[in-house]
Amino acid sequence: MPSWRSIDARPRTAATRELWDDVRSRQPRFTRAVAADARMAARHRGERPAGASRLDVAVQVARLCLVTDAFLGQCCYRAKVGLQRRDVPFLPRLLHRLAVTRGQIAIGDPVVVAPGVFIPHGQVVVDGITTIGARSVIGPFTTIGLVAGQVVGPTLGERVRIGTGVRVLGPVTLGDDASVGANAVVVDDVPAGTTVVGIPARPLGRGTDDHPEDRPEDARA
């Protein structure tokens, strides 16, 4: 007879068990992650960050869930992975649906999001074997995920800024302090501290003169 656990059923091969064990071992604990997310959100909103007491942190988290577009969805994601670490069935799926419906945030199971990430608005999709570093900012209407036929997604370092409407696709690496301008499509690695813009994304300030293949034949003479 089917059980609630069958809803979360995954292939139980040695390789998949190793994958999920690795993902779960890298997931931050719920309370630490949510507290760091709240401090990051308050800082970017120009508000007083939560103090050291658990009560103050709880009040700040509850307030952000009420007054922001995406923080409730982010908390649902954090709760989902916290329950998945404990192999709790069914409830993670419910929390995922709540994150999607209440905050328009869809973050897949293999994704690892470090504590202290700011998502100001919804319409964010993150999927694949993907990592997002601490103190990063993810703008709305963004996709951080896969290209067809692959399961490994992007790796974002710390303090990465993703602008509105950005697509970061495939097994690319964005170094610490990298920035991606609005509506860019990133399909190649971005070095640390670099700002990229455009489709496909290129370092800011790089013109076609740096790419002779982009110039017409008569301009190369």
Three state DSSP letters for the chain: CCCHHHHHCCCCCHHHHHHHHHHHHHCCCHHHHHHHHHHHHHHHCCCCCCCCCHHHHHHHHHHHHHHCCCHHHHHHHHHHHHHHHCCCCCHHHHHHHHHHHHHCEEECCCCEECCCCECCCCCEEECCEEEECCCCEECCCEEEECCCCCCEEEEECCCCEECCCCEEECCCEECCCCEECCCCEECCCECCCCEEECCCCEECCCCHHHCHHHCCHHHHC
216 pLDDT tier (thresholds 50, 70, 90)? very low
Count other C-beta atoms under 10 Å from residue 111's C-beta. Answer: 21
Angle at CA of residue 198, ends 196 and 199, nearest 5°? 120
Average pLDDT over residues 177-190: 97
Q: What is the CATH number of the domain that holds 185?
A: 2.160.10.10
Domain presence at residue 211: no
User: Looking at the domain assignment, is residue 68 inside a domain?
Assistant: yes
Please determine, for residue 26, whether its predicted confidence score (pLDDT) is greater than 70: yes
- According to the model, what pLDDT value does residue 204 have? 87
What band does 48 get if pLDDT is binned at 50, 70 and 90?
A: confident
Is there a single domain that holds both residue 137 and residue 79?
A: no
pLDDT tens readout for residues 82-138? 999 888 999 999 999 999 998 999 999 999 999 999 999 989 999 999 999 999 999
Mean per-residue pLDDT for 152-173? 97
Instruction: Answer whether residue 115 is part of any domain.
Output: no
Is residue 217 pLDDT above 70, yes or no?
no
The 10s digit of each residue's pLDDT in 13-24 is 887 888 888 888
Where in the sequence is the domain holding 163, given as residue range(s)? 123-206
Q: How far is CA 103 from the centre of its chain?
A: 14
- Please tell me the predicted confidence (pLDDT) of residue 2: 41
Claim to verify: residue 34 and residue 127 sit in the same structural domain: no
Residue 86 lies in a domain: yes
Nearest-5° Cα angle at 114, 73 to 41? 55
Which of 76, 104, 132 is the last residue in one of the domains? 104
- Indicate if 184 and 97 belong to the same structural domain: no
Whether residue 117 is contained in a domain is answered as no
Q: Clarify whether residues 153 and 87 are in a common domain.
A: no
Q: Specify the number of domains making up the chain.
A: 2
> How many C-beta atoms surround the C-beta of residue 161 within 10 A?
19
Do 20 and 98 share a structural domain?
A: yes
